[in-house]
Structure 1
Amino acid sequence: MLDQSTICAISTSPGVGAIAVIRLSGSDAIAICDKVYESPKTGKSLADQAANTLHFGKIVSANETIDEVVVALFRAPHSFTGEDIIEISCHGSVYIQQRILNVLVENGARLALPGEFTQRAFLNGKMDLSQAEAVADVIASSNAAAHKLAMNQMRGGFSKEIGSLRDQLLHFTAMVELELDFSEEDVEFADRTALRKLTEEIEALLRKLKDSFQLGNAIKNGIPVAIVGETNVGKSTLLNALLNEDRAIVSDIHGTTRDVIEDVVNIRGTAFRFFDTAGIRETEDQIETLGIERSYSKLEQATVVLLVVDTNNPYPLVESRIQHIRERIAPHQTLIIVANKIDSGLRDTIQQIEVMELTDNEKAVFIAAKQKENLEELIDYMSHSINLEEAEQQDVIVTNARHYEILKNAHEAIFRVLNGLDMQITGDFLAQDIRECLHYLAEITGEVGTEEVLGHIFKNFCIGK
């Protein structure tokens, strides 16, 4: 798959800026740049310069100066792609960027495809596939938690975990397959007790990695938070208070919100994806009924459910609404009962909610959304409910859907090995399942793969990276 041509692209964001960076990579990168670069001070060509150096000069075409630039020079194999790389820092005019790009193409370079620089880094062994995918995640990270996870993966944290698993399995695979050469002599080179212990450890680790995807995906794309409750209890007011803007229409008229309003906000370095849902009540309005059905759908998708109740209502009514939502909450979800309007609420209702018996995945917080009272306490509950501490403590958290699917397959394969050991099946069948697990793990790092898979991964990168 490795194309030997020299590629070029604008690596900074599209549009006008103070500075833009144009990148070339390939065996002819330096020679091509030398055709259009002039150094007014030294007169030296870039080919005569040392690696990892900066050079001030100008880009010219047909004796016309296009721009004064700073050129960074990197030589293979000590560069991002493992090839010779030139990075031209020019003024951020769109016209200047396009002129420089055009003269580079005229002199032998070609325009890079999306993600082609990172793809070359992978193909040249500068990083494995999971690290290459993390480059895109670093660029796309929109909050501190997602950035930290992506940086850990890009530095090889996930790769080391997978590599350690493969090394352990490879040793036992060799021993089990050696037995096949001596099948007539009925010997065992692979100690079954040691193999079981190792297999149990690997199964537990694969399960842990697989299960971490729920948290990792939430951190990467925003923790899904559904705001549910009856009509007119303050759901939209709460959303506006959390977003610090008038995103949802607030009215005393029941049934104002008829569809799901979605927005993402970064709170304390973590992205929360809020869904303000239609008020849940009995209605004959067909459009409002559709909105209520969507409310239940978003409730099922949420990691955190904020059930807003109006403390102006009698406690028996509030309790029945809480119980109604409790019946729809899954064990992995956190339910936060948001007792709203405490500035005007009934004292008895507030006191009854305070002494209500809560389960381990339930919390209660008392707020006045309109006055933004106790919002910080609510945010504390939301943050604690998704185990952000786990993201700090756990070395590897899976954020990539492709990795998750592969880990599921690898986990199933290693589970079959455990079952095979229980049934005392022969080494050839054990070896088959172990090899399958090894194959899946190799797919994560790119040690095995197809052009179709690689093409799909890198086409989603931005051009210039």
Structure 2
Amino acid sequence: MPFRLEAGVNRSIVPGETIAAISTAAGEAAIALVRVSGEDAIGVADKVFRGKQRPSDLQSHTQQLGEIVENGAVIDQAMLAVHRAPASYTGEDLVEISCHGGALVTAKVLETCLRAGARGARPGEFTERAYLNGKIDLTQAEAVIDLIRAQTDLALRSATEQLSGRLGEQFRNQRQRLIEIIAHVEASMDFPEEGISPDDITTIRSRLESLQSEIDKLIATAETGRILREGLRVVIFGATNAGKSSLLNCMLGFDRAIVSEMHGTTRDSIEERINLRGVALRLLDTAGLRAPENLVERQGIERTQRMLEAADLRLHIIDANAPRPTDFSASSCELLILNKSDLPEHADWSSAGAIRISCKTGAGLPELADEIYRRIGGAKLNAESPLAINARHREQLRRASNAIGRALAAIGAGATPEMFAIDLQEARHAIDELLGGGDEEAVRDAIFSQFCIGK
């Protein structure tokens, strides 16, 4: 499990400090990677590595086979690669040790590096140093997290696009255009006798409207970004014993939930993820809806109701052999599923517009997958540009768009430059924060604390 930064940990970077960490996942593997970065990274390597050449004699981007040693004792055989500043991931001298992937031997290699003068890296500190040294911008740093967490091809494409710098380039372009407009407006404030001509006002308004439209289009991608990063919330609900848990198991392809003929078997929700043709779905199996018989069942049903309110798609599963409940009503925001199609269907459901399936035989499940994909707009998601913003971007872009909107309203009302210049500066500050300006340390803390140690 990745380590997370505890609240209150000081993330300040001390110039010259050399850091080290295991960069590969915990557990047994053929190879593990120990990374060392900083002013003395190559010096640390000289102390712990024995090969034909000293690491300090190696050219950048070369590697050699040797041994990790401490006090003359061999700890492991390893490949050591040297990347000299500034041509490295962090922008500093960087050493990567590829050792055997056992948990104990990897820990021993790291401990040897720490005793040789490095300190343990904090979560995300290698990528944070890459940002501070100008190798990447904040949007690219966020893309590294998304790339690691991607569970579908679509999410992977989106993260790769952002990592390439396209999103950051859009933000920088928007900031530059704002700066040019602000410079024009403030020049008129410095020379009030010249003022701003009607033609200039028309040009400024047109440029601001174009910029606001572009920002609003980016804001509109936030929901797609949420889907790519978090997945769509698909809640399976219905009466007890209708087949909710059976449907979950069928969609997963393995038995995750307990299935029983007893009513009320599922008391708490179960969540699992699947990849439906490139779209991540968070499937939630919920407690059956009926008059609760005890406090635990009541709490489960209340949780089901809360999940239904937050769902992106509701799968209402019904026992097709049972009569239609007197209080039954179908909603346009849910997909009606009649289960147990391998048995005779009750006449009450003959005219129901529903997908008919059998969790027992698998009949109707391909058609159900098609309908879910259609309902969630899967084809549209896969056809769209993979570049999509996250919640932090949306907050600052909304702030910028609102500020530009206020400036446009002031211009329309005939306000003087002094009255709307403040709004333009507010918009610029919002975009600055997207790229790491403003309260930079707080923004960095929020982003890099999400990383695992070693990245």
Is 2:38 the counterpart of 1:26?
yes
Quote the residue 1:321 is aligned against. 328
- The 2-side partners of 1:343 and 1:67 are apart by 61
Displacement, 1:13? 1.4
**In structure 2, do the counterparts of structure 1 residues 150 and 246 end up closer, same or farther at CA, with 3 Å as the change threshold?**
same
C-alpha contact 2:400 2:431 (8 A) present in aligned 1: yes
Quote how far apart the aligned CAs of 1:57 are.
1.6
1:443 aligns with 2:452: no
Contact 2:144 2:159 in 1 (8 A): yes
Kindly report the root-mean-square deviation, in angstroms, between the aligned alpha carbons of the 2 structures: 2.5
1:14 aligns with 2:26: yes
Distance 2:328 2:208 in 1: 47
| Amino acid aligned to 2:337 | V
Preserved CA contact (<8 Å) 1:112 1:463: yes
CA contact (8 A) 1:176 1:190 kept: no
* 1:121-176 residue CA offsets vs partner (Å, 9 max, x unmatched): 00000000111121122112233222222222111122122222222222211111
C-alpha change, 1:99 and 1:406, in structure 2 (3 Å) is same
**Aligned residue for 2:253?**
244
Matched, 1:94 2:103: yes
CA deviation string 1:65-96 (max 9, x = no partner): 22221111111111101111111111123333
Shift of residue 120, structure 1, vs aligned partner: 0.5
Cross-structure match for 1:407: 397
**Residues 278 and 382 in structure 2, CA contact (< 8 A), matched pair in contact too:** no
CA contact 1:157–1:395 (8 Å) conserved in 2 = no
Distance 1:231 1:202, change over 3 A: farther
Asked if 1:65 corresponds to 2:74, the answer is: yes
- Deviation, structure 1 residue 462: 1.0
Tell me if the contact between 2:393 and 2:434 (Cα under 8 Å) persists in the aligned partners.
Answer: yes
- Of stretches 121-130 and 439-448 in structure 1, the one that deviates more from structure 2 is 439-448
The residue aligned with 1:361 is: none
Offset of 1:349 from its aligned partner?
A: 4.8
**Corresponding residue number in structure 2 for 1:176:** 185
SS of the aligned residue for 2:233 comes to: strand
Using the TM superposition, give the Cα deviation of residue 348 of structure 1 relative to its aligned residue in structure 2, in angstroms: 5.2
- Written as runs of structure 1 = structure 2, the 5 A alignment for 1:279-318 is 279-282=288-291, 285-313=294-322, 317=325
SS across alignment from 2:352: helix
| Alpha-carbon distance in structure 2 between the residues aligned to 1:256 and 1:174 | 67
Summarize deviations over 1:259-285 as a string: whole Å, max 9, x none. 323222334443211122233345565
Q: 2:89 aligns with which of 68, 77, 80?
A: 80
1:388 aligns with 2:414: no
Q: Indicate the residue corresponding to 1:201 in structure 2.
A: 210
With 415-424 and 425-434 compared, the bigger mean Cα shift is at 415-424
Counterpart in the other structure of 1:257: 266
Q: Aligned partners of 2:263, 2:53: CA distance in 1, in Å?
A: 76
Q: How many residues align?
A: 443
Distance 1:116 1:206, change over 3 A: same
Give yes or no for the alignment of 1:344 onto 2:343.
Answer: yes
Q: SS at the partner of 2:135?
A: coil
- Change beyond 3 A, Cα 1:394–1:410: farther
User: Quick check: 1:366 aligned with 2:365?
Assistant: no
Q: Is the 8 A contact 1:409 1:440 kept in 2?
A: yes
Contact persistence 2:400–2:426 (CA under 8 A): yes
**Structure 2 residue matching 1:256: 3-state secondary structure:** coil
Choose the corresponding residue for 1:421, options 406, 411, 421: 411
Distance 2:435 2:385 in 1: 17
Q: CA deviation at 1:345?
A: 4.3
Q: Is the 8 A contact 1:175 1:190 kept in 2?
A: no
Matched residue type, 2:50:
E
Flag structure 1 segments of 5+ consecutive residues without an equivalent. 330-334, 355-363
Deviates more, 1:341-350 or 1:64-73: 341-350
SS of 2:351's partner is helix
In structure 2, the partner of 1:357 is none
User: In the alignment, which residue of structure 2 is the partner of 1:186?
Assistant: 195
Aligned to 1:453: 443
- Counterpart AA for 1:271: A
The one-character-per-residue Cα deviations of 1:337-380 (angstroms, maximum 9, x if unpaired) are 223222324375555124xxxxxxxxx42212222212122122
Alpha-carbon offset, residue 314 of structure 1: 5.0
Q: 1:168 to 1:390 in 2, by over 3 A?
A: farther
SS at match of 2:161: helix
Q: Percent identity?
A: 39
Equivalent-residue separation in structure 2 for 1:213 and 1:88 (angstroms): 39
Matches of 1:446 and 1:115 in 2, distance apart? Answer: 16
Aligned residue for 1:431, secondary structure, equals helix
Match of 1:359 in 2: none
1:402 counterpart SS class: helix
Aligned to 2:174: 165
What do residues 285-330 of structure 1 show as CA deviations (whole Å, max 9, x unaligned)? 5543433332221111111111223333456x58x6343x44xx4x
The 3 A distance-change label for structure 1 pair 260 and 91 is closer
Counterpart Cα distance in 2 of 1:189 and 1:445: 34
**Aligned residue in 2 for 1:4:** 16
Distance 1:296 1:51, change over 3 A: same
Q: 2:402 & 2:35 partners in 1: Cα distance?
A: 44
1:399/1:260 CA distance change after superposition, 3 Å:
farther
2:164 paired residue number: 155
Contact 1:339 1:367 in 2 (8 A): yes
**C-alpha contact (below 8 Å) 1:417/1:434 kept by paired residues:** yes
Letter aligned with residue 365 of structure 1: I
Return closer, same or farther for 1:209/1:103 CA change in 2, 3 Å cut-off. same
Distance 1:451 1:400 in 2: 19
Partner of 2:7: none
Retained in 1: the 8 A contact 2:131–2:138? yes
Mapped to 2, the partners of 1:174 and 1:62 lie a distance apart of: 64
- Displacement of 1:195 after TM fit? 2.8
Query: Which amino acid in 2 is paired with 1:337?
Result: L
TM-score by length of 2: 0.89
